[in-house]
Amino acid sequence: MTLPSTPSFKLSGKRALVTGASSGIGLACAVALAEAGAEVTLAARSADKLKAIAQTLGDTGFKADVLPLDVSDIPAMQAAVAQAGPFDVLVNSAGLAIHSPAVDTLEGDFDRVSDLNFKGAYFLTTAVAQGLIKVGKSGSLINITSQMAHVGGIDRAVYCGTKHAVEGFTKAMAIEWGPHGIRVNTICPTFIRTALTEVTFDNPERVKWIEEKIKLGRVGEVTDIMGPVVYLASEASALMTGTHLLIDGGWTAD
């Protein structure tokens, strides 16, 4: 009798591009992929932060380099990815939130959030896919969206709209690139404690709302995303594409 064996979670020999890697969820994803054996390219606008992180990863025995990058600058981003790639794995964690009541949304704020969260994510994903298709390689492309890509939220109409949009193009791209062996999925976290979410957690009313929604009774930590990103990046999820992992503590269960 031959028993089945668990597909590998290891990423040895894989190259991974992680945007938004200078802090928060992006940094955690970069560390997780490096621990799984990937050679990680850290991308964000802050070159100094990236260099410090790459140095720390290198001192720990992992492989990492840096790629200063503004995802919303489409031509520059496309050129940088084409030159540095191809990448077997993409984790797009670059994102922006400017919250306000919908009736108070400023056009400039709408454009800033959309240019990064939607337009930038779209063309980043296509840029990495183009590199893979050109050399005939398969890959796993992962966009970090949000639980707000599946529900609505107070003062979050623009943010929700951009994240719903990413879920939409993820499905379309998964259909198009399936024949190339390129998988496209999303990770949808609940509220995660990071430097960017401090403002939310400083608001007692918002904290009460969050705690009532999360069925497991706690907010998320960046470590909650590390296992799921390795799963989606690896062969352990080889039949998953065009879908999402909700890491939301049960927020969307009702």
pLDDT of residue 210: 87
Residue 234, pLDDT > 90, answer yes
Closest to 234 (Cα-Cα) out of 187, 183, 189: 183
Bridge partners, residue 89, by sequence = 16, 140
CA distances from 103 to 71, 72, 127, 156, 200 (A): 28, 25, 35, 11, 20
Any long-range contacts for 61-65 (C-beta under 8 Å, 24+ apart)? 62/34, 62/35, 63/34, 63/38, 63/39, 64/30, 64/34, 64/39, 64/40, 65/39, 65/40, 65/41
Query: Does residue 197 form part of some domain?
Result: yes
pLDDT of residue 196: 76
Active-site residue, selected from the candidate residues 159, 177, 231, 251: 159
Closest to 74 (Cα-Cα) out of 124, 113, 114: 124
Structure tokens that stand for 53 in this block: 């992180």
pLDDT of residue 201: 83
CA terminus-to-terminus distance, the chain? 44
Range in 77-86, 140-149, 203-212 with the lowest mean pLDDT? 203-212
Query: Does residue 182 form part of some domain?
Result: yes
Residue 79, pLDDT > 90, answer yes
238 phi-psi bin (left φ>0, alpha ψ -120 to 50, beta other): alpha
In tens, the pLDDT along 129-174 reads: 999 999 999 999 999 999 999 999 889 999 999 999 999 999 999 9
In tens, the pLDDT along 31-75 reads: 999 999 999 999 999 889 999 999 999 999 999 999 999 999 999
In tens, the pLDDT along 6-22 reads: 999 999 999 999 999 99
Q: Amino acid letter at 53?
A: I
Q: Write the DSSP symbol of residue 251.
A: G
HSE (side-chain half, CA atoms, 13 Å) at 134: 13
Determine what percent of the chain falls in helix, strand and coil, rounding each to the nearest 5: 50, 15, 35
Domain that residue 190 falls in? 15-245
Query: Does residue 4 form part of some domain?
Result: no
For residue 226, name the pLDDT band (cuts at 50, 70, 90): very high
pTM, two decimals, is 0.95
Give exposure, 202-228, as e/b (b: 16+ Cβ within 10 Å).
eeeebeeebeebbeeeebbebebbbeb
Query: Does residue 5 form part of some domain?
Result: no
Query: Does residue 7 form part of some domain?
Result: no
Overall number of domains in the chain: 1
Query: Does residue 201 form part of some domain?
Result: yes
Q: Amino acid letter at 25?
A: I
pLDDT of residue 229: 98
Closest to 29 (Cα-Cα) out of 196, 187, 212, 252: 187
Query: Does residue 37 form part of some domain?
Result: yes
pLDDT of residue 202: 84
> Which CATH number is 103's domain given?
3.40.50.720
User: Is 122 among the catalytic positions?
Assistant: no
Query: Does residue 41 form part of some domain?
Result: yes
The CA distance from 96 to 101, in Å, is: 16
